[in-house]
């Protein structure tokens, strides 16, 4: 029943976001630069794990991958590039997972094609455009010339409404019955989109992004651990938006057996820094920290991430240069994890 509820909720958010984006952009949303690439780790290390060959799953075959969420929803297909079975890394430590994925990424074994959309950020741009007066009803206060708006806080952190992506690299899954949420990947990701979001305003921009990525998730009976490490560059077709290079880190842990005060067992953290590709001048900083409140009896958790985004005026020029635009945004991102 909880899965049905999650599916219905996420699907409705996805449809709302898709309809809003179609209204803004006049076309069908696709995917995100942040492609659904997953990897994970284990808290227990086998001393001989690095000396033994990895067990493998029965076979490699094309698979359909999907995810529904209020902030990121996607649909993709994973295509094997070799006839070798997919490695199974259930007993490897975190460092061993990284090492195996890195070694295998030198000889890619999978190609993943994906399309995704961000429902909440898209809905925020639609609401601001079509209901500007109602949008400003959610202004909370002003700090240092920055207007803090609740909707800005709920939708911040996504600079595009959709993207299409292609990933090539190595893969690993955790457990013989591993599903889409129990995998690890390392490799290279190319993404494309035609829109840019700034302060909940949609801007025309044909952008391309190339990044090296390690991202994944391992789900066990009472514990879920996920993380993402990215290095990349992003080139904008709109000449008034600076091309950037960036580094981004994200880590999240959900432990149903942890006591309430064991913060690190249920903590989320995300960090991203952008600099100008040419001058390496600092342009944007994102930092969010959150906490998961597990409800073991119901097998889901309430989550809340809070933080800030700082964006320099130097990121935009020409008609997009706006001295009145907010440089600071407070992030307020509630969600539910099933």
The DSSP code sequence of 147-194 is: EEEHHHHHHTT-S-SEEEEEEEEEEEESSTT--TTSEEEEEEEEEEEE
User: pTM to 2 decimals?
Assistant: 0.75
Structural domain for 33, as ranges: 2-337
Separation CA 181–CA 37 (nearest Å): 10
- 262 band by pLDDT with thresholds 50, 70 and 90: low
Separation CA 24–CA 55 (nearest Å): 48
Q: pLDDT digit string (tens) for 36-70?
A: 333 333 343 333 344 345 555 545 688 898 888 88
Counting the structural domains of the chain, the total is 1
Residue 61, beta-bridge partner list: none
**Helix, strand and coil percent figures for the chain, each rounded to 5:** 20, 45, 35
Look at the alpha carbons of 162, 231, 114, 234 in this order and tell me if their dihedral is positive or negative: positive
Helices (H), 26-79: none
For residue 317, the tally of other CB atoms under 10 A from its CB is 12
Residue 88, CA distances (Å) to 59, 66, 228 in order: 11, 21, 19
Q: What is the mean pLDDT of residues 165-186?
A: 80
Determine the longest span between alpha carbons in the chain, in angstroms. 64
């Amino acid at each position: 029943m909880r899965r049905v509820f999650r599916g219905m909720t996420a699907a409705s958010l996805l449809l709302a976001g898709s309809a809003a984006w179609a209204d803004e952009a006049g076309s069908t949303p696709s995917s995100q630069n942040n492609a659904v690439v997953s990897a994970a780790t284990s808290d227990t290390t086998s001393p001989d794990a690095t000396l033994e060959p990895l067990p493998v799953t029965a076979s490699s075959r094309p698979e359909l991958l999907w995810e529904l969420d209020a902030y990121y929803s996607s649909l993709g297909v994973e295509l094997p590039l070799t006839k070798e079975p997919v490695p199974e890394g259930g007993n490897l430590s975190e460092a061993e997972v990284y090492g195996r994925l890195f070694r295998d990424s030198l000889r890619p074994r999978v190609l993943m094609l994906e399309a995704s959309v961000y429902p909440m950020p898209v809905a925020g741009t639609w609401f601001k455009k079509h209901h500007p007066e109602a949008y400003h009803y959610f202004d909370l206060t002003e700090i240092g010339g920055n207007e803090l708006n609740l909707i800005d806080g709920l939708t911040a952190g996504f600079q595009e409404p959709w993207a299409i992506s292609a990933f090539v690299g190595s893969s690993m899954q955790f457990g013989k019955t591993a599903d889409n949420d129990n995998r690890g990947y390392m490799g290279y990701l190319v993404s494309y989109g035609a829109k840019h979001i700034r302060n909940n305003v949609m801007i025309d921009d044909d952008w391309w992004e190339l990044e090296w990525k390690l991202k994944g998730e391992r789900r066990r009976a009472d514990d879920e651990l996920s993380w993402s490490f990215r290095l990349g560059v992003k080139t904008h077709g709109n000449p008034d938006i600076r091309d950037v290079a960036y580094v981004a880190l994200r880590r999240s842990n959900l432990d149903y057996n942890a006591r309430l005060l064991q913060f690190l067992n249920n903590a989320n953290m995300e960090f991203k820094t952008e600099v100008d590709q040419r001058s390496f001048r600092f342009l944007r900083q994102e930092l969010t920290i959150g906490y998961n409140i597990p409800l073991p009896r119901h097998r889901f958790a309430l989550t809340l991430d809070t933080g800030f985004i700082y964006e320099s005026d130097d990121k935009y020029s020409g008609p997009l240069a706006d001295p009145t635009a907010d440089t600071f945004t407070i992030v307020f991102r509630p969600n539910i994890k099933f």
